[in-house]
């Protein structure tokens, strides 16, 4: 039985050795695969650095060059905005003042025209009374003269002898 145990033990050790050797081969294959992957990643990173870094540098240079101009333009726009606010307030005040003055002048003109038209109306009434009264008197006199003339012109009515009392 010892021999049998020894044989089993040898077989067991051989299987263990083969498993360890197989595991070493698998680990070696994984190592080679990782090395290739690392090399590929390194090459891709280098390509990315070669492409992106010049763009980053040129962008940084561009930003550094235009920053003062942008600041100047921004300050100018802020000043322009403030000036426009002040002027629009002034224009608004001027427009209000002009509107008020026009309104006052319109009221004054209305008052003057009302007084003038009232005076013209009174004068018209006075002229009408001054002219119409004598004209009525003359018309009355003419009517009286006409009546008198018509009376004298008309034949005197003949008296009927039968109607004599």
Query: pLDDT tens digit string along 103-151?
Result: 898 888 888 888 888 888 888 888 888 778 888 888 889 888 988 888 8
Query: pLDDT tens digit string along 4-54?
Result: 888 999 999 999 999 999 999 999 999 999 999 999 999 999 988 888 888
For residue 155, pLDDT over 70 is answered with: no
Q: What is the predicted pLDDT for the residue at 34?
A: 95
For residue 101, pLDDT over 80 is answered with: yes
Each residue of 100-116: b (16+ CB within 10 Å) or e?
eeeeeeeeeeeeeeeee
Each residue of 49-79: b (16+ CB within 10 Å) or e?
eeeeeeeeeeeeeeeeeeeeeeeeeeeeeee
What gap in Å lies between CA 107 and CA 23, rounded to an integer? 111
Phi–psi pair at 157, nearest 5 degrees: -65, 135
Each residue of 3-37: b (16+ CB within 10 Å) or e?
eeeeeeeeeeeeeeeeeeeeeeeeeeeeeeeeeee
């Amino acid at each position: 039985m010892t021999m049998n145990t020894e044989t089993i033990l040898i077989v067991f050790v051989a299987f263990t050795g083969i498993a360890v050797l197989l595991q070493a081969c698998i680990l070696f294959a994984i190592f080679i695969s990782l090395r290739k992957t690392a090399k590929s990643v390194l090459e891709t990173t280098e390509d990315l650095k070669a492409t992106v870094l010049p763009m980053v540098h040129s962008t940084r240079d561009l930003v550094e060059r235009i920053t003062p101009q942008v600041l100047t333009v921004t300050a100018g726009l802020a000043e322009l905005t403030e000036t426009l606010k002040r002027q629009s307030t002034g224009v608004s005040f001027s427009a209000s003042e002009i509107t008020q003055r026009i309104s006052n002048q319109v009221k004054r003109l209305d008052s003057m025209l009302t007084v003038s038209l009232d005076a013209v109306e009174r004068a018209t009434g006075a002229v009408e009374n001054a002219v119409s009264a004598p004209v009525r008197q003359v018309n009355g006199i003419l009517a009286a003269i006409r009546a008198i003339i018509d009376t004298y012109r008309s034949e005197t009515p003949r008296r009927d002898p039968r109607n004599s009392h």
